[in-house]
Amino acid sequence: MWWGVAAALLANTLYSLGFVLEKRALTSLPEVSIRQPARLVRLVLGSPLWIGGSLALAAGFAAQLVVYRTLPVAAAQGIFVSGLVLLVLLSARLLGEETSGRERYALGAILLALLMVVLSLREGSDTVSQDAPYQLILLVCVPSLAAGLWLYISAERRAGNRHRRPTTGVEYGVAVGLLYGVSSLAIKGVSSHLTTSGIGGAVLDLLSSPYPYLLLFTGVFGLVMSQAALQRCRASLIVPVCTTVTSLFTAVLGTLSFGEALPDEPLRLALRVAGTALAVAVLLTMPKHDPAPQPPAPTKELASP
C-alpha cells in the first residue's frame, strides 16, 4: 500500500511540473482557441518547452497506473490532491503568479482534506477492485463527457462578452475536470487489464473494453480544451479546480462503479467522507472572478513657470 502512496506523490510531482511547463510555454505562443484545434496542436508541438511538460504528464500517467493497482480509488484521489501545494509553489516561482489570501486558505483546507483521507487508510483492510461492468462505466462516463463539453462551450460564450468581469477560470477547470475524471476511470480500467497473462491476451482483452476509446476521446478533447484554458487563466487556480473535480468525480463514481467498499470502522469512514465533503465545499466557495484591473493613477502636470 505504501508503494502506492509513493507512486501517487511521484505522480503529483510530475503532473505539477508538467502543467507549469506547459503554461510557461503557452504564454510565449500566439493565442490559441478550441475553434482552431489543428492550429493549436501545431503551435504547441513546435514548442520544446511544451513538449517537455507533456512528457512529464505522460510519466505521471504511468505512475498513476501503479497507484490504481495498489490503492482504493477514493484513497488515491485524496492523495492526488496534495499536488496542489507543489503546483502553487512552482507557479509562484516559475510563472510569477500570485494567489490571494482566500485562495491560500482554500489550499490549506484541501491539505486538511488530504490528511483526513490518508488517515482513513489501513493496509490490508481496504479492497482494491480490478474491474467494473462496461455498461455501468458508459452510463457514468458518457453523460459526464457531454456535461463537460457543454459547460466549456458555455464558459467560452460568456468569456466573449466584453463587459464581463475577468474570470478566474473556475468554469473551465470544472469542465476539463469532468473530462479528466472520465480519463481517470479509464486509467483505472486499463490497470485492471494489465493482469491478463501474456501480452497478446492483455491487448485483445483491453481492446474489447471501452477504456482505450474513452482515453482516446478524453485525450484529444482534453488536450485542446485544457491548453486553451491554461493560456487564458492562472495555472495556480484552474489546475487546482480541475484536480479537485477530477478527484471527487473519480472517488465517488469510481468507488461505486468498481464496487470498492468504504471503511467499516466509523472513525475511518467519517474521515474519508468528511475529507471528500471538505474538498467539495472548498470548490464551491472559490472565487470565480479575478479583481478588475485598477486604472493607472493620473499624473500631475507640472505648472509652467
As a whole-number percent, the residues of the chain with pLDDT over 70 amount to 77
The grid cell for 100 is: 490571494
Give the whole-angstrom CA distance, residue 185 versus residue 207. Answer: 16
* 73-117: pLDDT as tens digits: 767 776 776 677 777 777 777 777 776 777 777 777 877 876 787
The grid cell for 74 is: 477514493
Q: Is 88 helix (H, G, I), strand (E, B) or coil?
A: helix
As a whole-number percent, the residues of the chain with pLDDT over 90 amount to 11
* 58-77: pLDDT as tens digits: 898 888 888 877 777 767 77
Q: Is 275 helix (H, G, I), strand (E, B) or coil?
A: helix
* Mean pLDDT, residues 121-138 taken together: 70
* Mean pLDDT, residues 40-55 taken together: 92
pLDDT at 59: 92
CA distances from 148 to 140, 152, 178, 246 (A): 13, 6, 6, 11
At residue 305 the predicted structure's pLDDT band, cuts being 50, 70 and 90, is: very low
pLDDT of 287 higher than 60: no
The domain locations on the chain are: 131-261
The grid cell for 280 is: 467539495
At residue 276 the predicted structure's pLDDT band, cuts being 50, 70 and 90, is: confident
CA distances from 32 to 28, 53, 170 (A): 11, 17, 19
Cβ atoms of 102 and 28 closer than 8 Å? no
* Mean pLDDT, residues 238-254 taken together: 79
Q: Which helix (H) or strand (E) holds 214?
A: helix 211-232
At residue 302 the predicted structure's pLDDT band, cuts being 50, 70 and 90, is: very low
Residues facing residue 289 across a β-bridge: 167
The grid cell for 114 is: 488530504
* 10-34: pLDDT as tens digits: 888 888 888 889 989 998 889 888 8
